[in-house]
């Protein structure tokens, strides 16, 4: 019996349990590509799955982990051969399909993206789903027509994974970035990433007016709830906010005023079922527009046996930037 190390989530009498176990290779799910996983990462959703805080996992037993980078071990998919370097993220991995916190993953070849030239597998997972979602948000803003000359952009949840990468990329592209954070102590970190201004997240979290002073032309929001409502209310005429997260809540207590009086657009960002062509574009842009030194600054490394503890910390907002997980 061939086994490998994996973090398995099981259903318990109350909630779920997570444990590092030996997983039987014969129990891997269907797929035409088997990947030797080298690196994974810790995202907010991984924290939810590991702690059982919300029903992310919809099949038991489940291997947790929503993203990986590694090397193809075997393939019957014509696009992939043994030795190819690949990135896999989303598509239900860690939710409905066995996930990434494991030495092996078997997936559909159509889900995979080739590791961009010059990007290491570790760097790809330092970026991870959070960083790729930040880039999907930037692409959506660009697609809307936003340019640095239009005015400042705001990034909420600034010291988190999505926020940190969004700041680094937007500042690299020439935007004046306003970073909203609850951690005043991270001012130096955020300015180092390229933030031009820091604001306290309390400024945006209380219920506000349907329309406020126009402060930014665009934004990347990973917080949701009243924060997103206030972002929209303070967006300039014909500006846009890319909404990708819910760290502050799932609700959106807003009005139509920003949409019908200022032509503001709310751009929805989903990373999980995102079409493959847009994924390839996002990863290519990350290899071009994310400064490698800044990526190194926001990244900390943990081992597979530290992931369960780290999952609780990410939900408590105690993790800064990105956490990469060494697997292989």
Q: With respect to ligand NDP, which residue has the nearer C-beta, 18 or 155?
A: 155
Tokens of 133: 């979602």
Closest approach of ligand NDP to the CB of residue 228, in Å: 10
User: Which region, judged by CB under 6 A, interacts with ligand NDP, from 3-11, 12-20, 244-252, 292-300?
Assistant: 244-252
Peptide bond into 159 cis (omega under 30): no
Question: What number of H helices and E strands is found in the chain?
Answer: 10, 16
> Considering the rule CB under 6 A, would residue 235 count as an interface residue with ligand NDP?
no
Per CB under 6 A, the list member of 124, 314, 325, 327 interacting with ligand NDP is 314
With b for 16 or more beta-carbon neighbours within 10 A and e for fewer, the 76-91 pattern comes to: eeeebeeebbbbbbbb
How far apart (Å, rounded) are the C-alpha atoms in residues 325 and 66? 12
CB atoms within 10 A of CB 199: 16
Interface characters, 171-210, with ligand NDP (x: CB under 6 A): ----------xxx-----------------x---x-----
Of 23-52, binders to ligand NDP (CB under 6 A) are 43-45
Smallest distance from the beta carbon of 120 to ligand NDP, in angstroms? 21
Rule CB under 6 A: is residue 129 a binding residue for ligand NDP? Answer: yes
Q: Which of 34, 235, 271, 299 binds ligand NDP (CB under 6 A)?
A: 271
The residue range among 20-28, 104-112, 151-159, 296-304 that interacts with ligand NDP, by the rule CB under 6 A, is: 151-159
- Give the one residue of 94, 99, 109, 248 binding ligand NDP; rule: CB under 6 A: 248
Check residue 247 for interaction with ligand NDP (CB under 6 A): yes
Q: How far is the CB of 294 from ligand NDP (least distance, A)?
A: 16
Q: Which C-beta is closer to ligand NDP: that of 34 or that of 181?
A: 181
Binding residues among 47-106 for ligand NDP as defined by CB under 6 A: none
- Strands, E assignment, 149-298: 153-155, 177-181, 197-200, 216-221, 235-243, 265-268
Residue count (the chain): 328
Distant-in-sequence, close-in-space partners of 220: CB < 8 Å, separation ≥ 6: 134, 137, 138, 141, 153, 154, 155, 156, 162, 163, 166, 170, 241, 242, 244
- Considering only CA atoms, which of 304, 303, 296, 302 is closest in space to residue 319? 302
Instruction: Name the one range near ligand NDP by CB under 6 A: 103-111, 256-264, 291-299, 313-321.
Output: 313-321
Q: Using the rule CB under 6 A, give the single segment among 9-17, 74-82, 147-155, 265-273 that binds ligand NDP.
A: 265-273
Q: Which of 121, 234, 246, 286 binds ligand NDP (CB under 6 A)?
A: 246
The least distance separating ligand NDP from the CB of residue 30, rounded to whole angstroms, comes to: 24
User: What is d(CA 2, CA 311) in angstroms, rounded to the nearest whole number?
Assistant: 28
- Give the nearest distance from C-beta 179 to ligand NDP in angstroms: 8
| 48 close to 134: Cβ distance less than 8 angstroms | no
Separation in Å, CA 147 to CA 113, 153, 166, 240, 276: 28, 10, 15, 11, 25
Q: How many residues bind ligand NDP (CB under 6 A)?
A: 33
Binding site for ligand NDP (CB under 6 A): 43-45, 129-130, 133, 157-163, 181-183, 201, 205, 222-223, 227, 244-248, 269-272, 314, 317, 319
């Amino acid at each position: 019996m061939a086994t490998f190390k994996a973090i398995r989530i099981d259903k318990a009498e109350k909630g779920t349990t997570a444990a590092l176990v030996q997983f039987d290779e014969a129990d891997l799910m269907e797929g035409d590509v088997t990947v030797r996983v080298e690196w994974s990462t810790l995202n907010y959703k991984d924290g939810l799955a590991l702690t059982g805080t919300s029903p992310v996992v919809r099949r038991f037993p489940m291997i947790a982990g929503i993203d990986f980078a590694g090397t193809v071990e075997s393939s019957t998919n014509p696009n992939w051969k043994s030795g190819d370097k690949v990135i896999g993220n989303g598509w239900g991995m860690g939710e409905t399909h066995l996930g990434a916190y494991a030495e092996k993953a078997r997936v559909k070849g159509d889900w995979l993206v080739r590791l961009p030239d010059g990007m290491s597998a570790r760097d790809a997972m330092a970026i991870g789903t959070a960083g790729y979602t930040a880039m999907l948000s930037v692409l959506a803003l660009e697609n809307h027509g936003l340019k640095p000359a239009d005015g400042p952009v705001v990034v909420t949840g600034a010291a988190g994974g999505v926020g940190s990468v969004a700041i680094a990329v937007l500042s690299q592209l020439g935007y004046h970035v306003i970073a909203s954070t609850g951690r005043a102590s991270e001012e130096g970190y955020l300015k180092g990433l390229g933030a031009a201004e820091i604001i306290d997240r309390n400024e945006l979290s209380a219920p506000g007016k349907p329309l406020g002073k126009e402060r930014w032309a665009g934004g990347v929001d990973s917080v949701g709830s009243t924060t997103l409502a206030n972002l929209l209310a303070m967006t300039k005429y014909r500006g846009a906010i890319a909404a990708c997260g819910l760290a502050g809540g799932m609700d959106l207590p807003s009005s139509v005023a920003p949409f019908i009086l200022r032509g503001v657009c709310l751009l929805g960002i989903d990373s999980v079922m995102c079409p493959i062509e847009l994924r390839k574009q996002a990863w290519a842009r990350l290899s071009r527009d994310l400064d490698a030194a800044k990526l190194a600054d926001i990244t900390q490394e943990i081992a597979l046996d530290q992931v369960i503890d780290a999952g609780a910390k990410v939900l408590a907002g105690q993790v800064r930037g990105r956490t990469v997980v060494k697997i292989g």
